[in-house]
Amino acid sequence: MHILVCIKQVPDSAQIRVHPVTNTIMRQGVPAIVNPYDLYALEEALRLKDRYRGRITALCMGPPQAEAALRKALAFGADEAILLTDRAFAGADTLATSYALSAAIRQVHQSLPVDLVFAGKQTIDGDTAQVGPGIATRLDMQLLTYVSKIVSLDLSAREIVVHRRSEGGVQVLKTRLPALITVLEGINDMRFASLTDVFRAERHKLTTWSKDDAHIEDVTKIGLKGSPTAVSKVFAPTSTNRRAEIIETQSGQPVDLAATLVAKIVSRHPDVALAINPSPVPDERPL
């Protein structure tokens, strides 16, 4: 069995700050990490490999420094890692990205047929969840998004059964390989990589592919040129011209502040007051 896992290197969005005056992104010192959702995808692939044997190829498109993300995948147990990097890919939106990645996957497939492609449900920087469906569509693979559980895999019948999160419930889907699966967070707990694994990953010779290596001939399909969308402006949210009415009382005591606030809410917003309906029984649901 051959599983290909798509990973992306992203800036740790929790650490991105905006300059308070110029409203520009302060990129300095923001660490690059493997997109957290992709680690669930990698772990799910590793579990299938543990059970059914086979090979895992990690694929990452990005600048040369994205190599670090692939080394991490190797340390966790990927057998092969391919960095798809070319200046011609710069500025790609999701359509151009899925074009480049699917071209690379086709090349991988030629040397060793790919049975499953795994990806995270979305990235934390783009948050679009569009590239997975894009790749599946281009490669004519069955698409299973938001998968919360892999129920069974039958390699001889080439069938897989999964739980797919949908609105209001879970779909139990059966499909044929090859398939592309995007996994939900929390589907598994990531394993740890030992120091030996990390050293082994550091020594591993990465494969680096340019657009030519991926046999991409039509440059109008990749990068900025291949992107139907464009950012027309980036801006900070407009101020509402509203400044909260700060509740103050003479004593400044919580009890008085609260009483003053409740009195204002109830008298000025009757519909809010009407919406207050204490639950008759204690809410036992977990937080």
Partner 1 sequence: MTSTETQKAPASRPAGRRVQKLDERLAGYKGVWVFVEYERGHVHPVSWELLGEGRKLADALKVELAAVLLGPPDSAIRAFCDQAIHYGADLCYLACHPALKDYRNAPYTAILTELVNRYCPEILLLGATTLGRDLAGSVATTLKTGLTADCTGLAIDPENRGLAATRPTFGGSLLCTIVTLNYRPQMATIRPRVMVTPQADPARTGRVIDHPVTLVEESIVTKVLQFIPDDHVAEANLPFADIIVSGGRGMKRQENFRLIQDLARVLGAEVGASRPVIQAGWVGADRQVGQSGKTVRPRLYIAAGISGAVQHRVGMDKSDVIIAINEDANAPIFDFAHYGIVGNAMTILPALTQAFTEHLQARKQAC
> Among residues 34, 45, 59, 81, which is the contact residue for partner 1, using CB under 8 A?
59
DSSP 93: -
Listed ranges 49-57, 75-83, 187-195, 274-282: which one lies at the site for partner 1 (CB under 8 A): 274-282
> Among residues 32, 198, 206, 257, which is the contact residue for partner 1, using CB under 8 A?
257
Write out the two tokens for 138. 């281009």
> Among residues 46, 81, 131, 187, which is the contact residue for partner 1, using CB under 8 A?
131
Return left, alpha or beta for 252; rule: phi > 0 is left, psi -120 to 50 is alpha, else beta.
left
Residue 114: CB minimum distance to partner 1, A: 15
Write out the two tokens for 251. 């004593």
* Helix (H) or strand (E) run with residue 111 in it: helix 94-111
Binders of partner 1 among residues 236 to 255 (CB under 8 A) are: 236-237, 239-240, 242-247, 254-255
H helix intervals, 23-93: 36-52, 67-76
With H, G, I as helix, E, B as strand and everything else as coil, classify residue 199. Answer: helix
Write out the two tokens for 103. 């071209």
Residue 189: CB minimum distance to partner 1, A: 13
Q: Does 272 bind partner 1 (CB under 8 A)?
A: yes
The site map against partner 1 for 215-234 (x = CB under 8 A) is ---------x--xxxxxxxx
Q: Which residues pair with 83 in a beta bridge?
A: 60, 208
> Among residues 52, 87, 113, 137, which is the contact residue for partner 1, using CB under 8 A?
137
What is the C-alpha to C-alpha distance for residues 33 and 232, in angstroms, rounded to an integer? Answer: 28
Binders of partner 1 among residues 81 to 110 (CB under 8 A) are: 89-95, 97-98, 101
> Among residues 65, 110, 166, 210, which is the contact residue for partner 1, using CB under 8 A?
166
